[in-house]
Structure 1
Amino acid sequence: MTGPLRRIRALPLRSRLALLVATAVAVAVAAVAAACWFVTRAQLEHQADATLRNSNIDERYLTNLYNYCLGNAQIQPSPYSGLTVQLIDAQGTVCLAPDSSKLPVTEADLAVVNREGSGALHTETDADGVTMRVFTYRVTVFGSGLPRTDLGVSVARPLSETGKPLSTLAWVLLLVSGIGVIGAGAAGLWVARSGLRPVDELTEAVEHVARTEDLTVRIPVEGEDEIARLSESFNSMAASLATSRDRQAQLIADAGHELRTPLTSLRTNVELLARSDETGRAIPPDDRKALMSSVKAQMTELASLIGDLQELARPDAAQPGPLQVVALHDITRTALERARLRGPELTITAELAPWYVRAEPAALERAVVNVLDNAVKFSPQRGTIDVVLHRGELTVRDRGPGIPADELPHVFERFWRSPSARQLPGSGLGLSIVARTVQQAGGEIALLPATGGGTEAVIRLPGAPQPPPDAPRT
């Protein structure tokens, strides 16, 4: 059994479907044909038995036959064509017409003669080897000069009268079944080819993409069945892959563009220092100090840019680390300390109500630091920054120049920087990282124009159950 199953599994899918359809139809047709044959046989046998029971052999003929067997009369040709008629007395002696073949006498026949039964129906083989269906009943006759006598009358018909029609019916059913199975196999193959045509198109499309890396291929979607859903899924997957590849190419291009500026400046400064050492012409101390400060700043900017790129290189669906229940007010307080160090001349006010969230602590702290860094960067000298945390909504408001309305839709795009910020340090990745971290924590972020000038950054994060008092604080 394992061998045939293995060979069937090795067949193409359409061949297996056609074979399955043909097999199912063959089983159904065979069951219907068998049921039809058995029902017909039962009906024919019932009809033949009823005909035997209602044969109504004339008593005068039976009396004449009985007298013939006694040697007291001449027998006339039987008026019952196709029937075998014989008489049986109580001792089992048979009286038979000359043109008939003798039937064996059974105990059931003798029981009928002896008034122990009203009739007996059975199948026997006559002296000529013909299988006969026999019905025996009792009759009273008067022989010449003899008293009234009880005899059994056996009436028989050959079973071939029903066997031949049944044989013919069997051959007809077999022929019709064969034609039906062949037709079902052909129809199954046609249905399989038609139904699997979209699968063939999908296979060709996948092979084309694998061979050419062309993600613009789309499969026509027809109908609303499973094949149509599969085609839609493939088209969506191809579109997503194309978008991902375009974003990857754009990320590489933008990263190269952003890296070029600090690398070019760093190379220029290093070349000036190297030329000074090679030529022996010393650079004035103040200029050398400025060059070294520039090199240090460019190295810091380059390291920050590479860190941001590594953060963005992670898949969007991947979490940067295990989520924990952390105190957003504590993380904000720590970020405020760093912000005050970067803007010592600024006034930063804070109102932080306790709020616990489920997030990755390091990533969330970096996101809050980035928001505060933006506020420090764009705040005027001796400006004020207001930080408020209330019921999961963290608001950071500065008094800077603000963001034009036409630039607000782009602030969370990678490497995007407003024209007014291109002269300031930064890579344009900070807000995109903030947005990604907040979304991974199940929250949302928005930048809005503040009333009276400046920008207001709003971060909303869903709350989490407060950890027990003895749990370590993050």
Structure 2
Amino acid sequence: MIKRFRTLPLRSRLALLVAVAVAVAVAAVSTTCWFVVRGKLLDEIDSKLKAQTAPLRTTDAVVTLRDCSQAPARQTDYGPKPVYYVQLVRADNDDACVFPRSAGTVKVDDVDQRVARDADPTVLTFRNGTDSEGRDVRVLTIAAVVDGGSAGGVVADTALLIAFPLKETEGTLDDLALLLLIVSGIGVVAAGAAGLWVARAGLKPVDRLTGAVEHVARTEDLTVRIPVDGEDEIARLSRSFNSMTAALASSRDRQAQLIADAGHELRTPLTSLRTNIELLARSEETGRAIPPADKRALMASVKAQMTELAALIGDLQELSRPDAVQAEPLKVVALHEIAEAALERARLRGPELSIEAELEPWYVRAEPASLERALVNVLDNAVKFSPPGGRIDVSLTAGELTVRDHGPGIPADELPHVFERFWRSPSARALPGSGLGLSIVARTVQHAGGEIALGPAEGGGARAVIRLPGASTPPPAAP
């Protein structure tokens, strides 16, 4: 049943749930109403029975006990027919002594005999019973008393039983039950129809969203946008979908641009490699040896191109990694130690340069390998654009790492593009590099929660500033 329910459309499930909820509520209210009315009607009958005890608790009881007829007197066709059942019950006998003006005989119950044995005239006992013909009656049993109800007038082991027929009361309750059933059925059907209408109206935005998702899945068209109206959950879901498709479209555009740019950058070293290898192969095929000096230069060129190609592939792998995926878990690292290691590599690449450094202790949370690579890229740029015999100043103070060179600097119109992938200044096209270094630097710094700025330095050259949140002392070790 549950599996079948889950296979229904959402609007059908909502309508069914509304109908079931209304049915339960209506059933509870109807049942409560029926029992309340039944209780009120029985209270009225009990009041009538109680009112009949006074005139009957007289010496008539003595006469009735003396004659002790098992059936009421035969009634004539004249005068009103009796309504109440009146009889005396003995504690030790199931047969009752019926009053002459009784409407019939009521079956004696154990409760009636117990009241006769107790002989307490202050206790009134009500119950439902049946008469000799099987009709339902309401019964009041009380200890039999004569002579005005004094304590001395109690008839030993005898109880007075008065009953009233329940035919009209039961008919009223049956009519009420039928009416409540009809009203409840109408209410449930109306609630189901209203629930279905509300579900259809409320799920129209979901239908639009579903249609948009199906359209995107079918056509891969990420330009689809859903109109957003209001501030409810559906509006939030629509905004989230629009944001998701916009992010996917942007990601796909960046991916396509990355592939196009990578293909363009890979074409140059691959073409050069192919040319050099073809020269070597042609030399072997024709038997015409390449001069040793030319061959050494050719092999050096092949080696340099292979190195450049490997570096480019490594940069592409780094940039192709999703932003949410980290190559290594973040760790607390000493920025000054990583900067010192990067400086050693920079000095090897520019032995003719003077690199001055002042590094204060600073600890940050970052990926150690990625952070070192980023610092090496920044220093490589400074080495690459520094004139022979030039100087590079490096300082680390309060989490701010500054790298300043004395090269040609960066034109103002090129500053907005320095962190773009594969972008290279026209003046740097002849120098080795792929144009991905600063992009990797910016990405690594952002992952560490910092920021980077690159601009002209006072007195000429360029100045790169990296700011990373951290502390001047390492955090205490975990226990």
Superposition TM-score, scaled by structure 1 size: 0.82
- Alignment correspondent of 1:145: none
- Residue 322 of structure 1: aligned partner: 329
User: Which residue number in structure 1 is paired with residue 165 of structure 2?
Assistant: 158
1:56, 1:467 → 2: CA distance?
Answer: 94
Count of residues in Structure 1 that have an aligned counterpart in Structure 2: 451
The aligned counterpart of 2:40 is 43
Residue type at the aligned position of 1:33: S
Separation (CA, whole Å) in 2 of partners of 1:332 and 1:111: 108
Question: Unaligned 5+ residue runs, structure 2?
Answer: 68-74
The answer to whether 1:466 aligns with 2:470 is no
- Paired residues of 1:108 and 1:120 also in contact (CA < 8 A): no
Name the aligned partner's letter for residue 84 of structure 1: Y
1:23 aligns with 2:27: no
Shift of residue 202 of structure 1?
3.2
Alignment of 1:440 onto 2:437? no
Q: Kindly report which structure 2 residues correspond to 1:37-436, keeping only aligned pairs within 5 A, or say none.
A: 37-54=34-51, 83-84=83-84, 86=86, 93-97=97-101, 100-103=103-106, 107=113, 116-117=121-122, 121-135=126-140, 156-279=163-286, 287-436=294-443
Change (3 A) 1:164 1:281: same
SS of alignment partner, residue 470 of structure 2: coil
Q: CA deviation at 1:120?
A: 6.1
Q: Name the SS of the counterpart of 2:309 in structure 1.
A: helix
C-alpha distance in 2, partners of 1:25/1:139?
A: 57
Q: 1:81 to 1:452 in 2, by over 3 A?
A: farther
TM-align CA RMSD: 3.8
Contact 1:349 1:385 in 2 (8 A): yes
1:407 alignment partner, SS class? helix
Moved more, 223-232 or 379-388: 223-232
Give CA deviations for 1:385-415 in whole Å, capped at 9, x if unaligned.
1011122211100112222233222211111
1:9 aligned to which of 3, 6, 9: 6
Unaligned runs of 5+ in 1: 142-147, 470-474
CA drift of 1:274 comes to 4.1
Q: Could you report, residue by residue, the CA deviation over 1:422-442 in whole angstroms, capped at 9, with x for unpaired residues?
A: 222110000111112222233
In 2: Cα distance, 1:138 partner to 1:399 partner: 128
AA in 2 matched with 1:25: V
Partner of 2:242, secondary structure, is: helix
Out of 267-276 and 409-418, give the one that drifted further.
267-276
Which secondary structure does the structure 2 equivalent of 1:406 belong to?
helix
Residues 224-267 of structure 1 deviation map (CA, whole Å, 9 limit, x = unaligned): 33333222222222222221111111100000111112222333
Check whether the contact 1:118–1:138 (CA below 8 A) recurs between aligned residues: no
| Equivalent position amino acid for 2:39 in 1 | A
Matched residues in 2 for 1:330 and 1:455: separation? 24
Asked whether the equivalents of residues 139 and 152 of structure 1 are also in contact (C-alpha less than 8 Å), the reply is no
Displacement of 1:133: 2.8
The CA distance in 2 between the partners of 1:332 and 1:152, in whole Å, is: 110
The residue number in structure 2 matching 1:144 is none
Q: TM-score, normalised by structure 2?
A: 0.81
Indicate the SS of the match to 2:455. Answer: strand
Measured against aligned partners, the alpha-carbon deviations of 1:163-202 in whole angstroms (never above 9, x if no partner) come to 1100100111111111222222222233333333333333
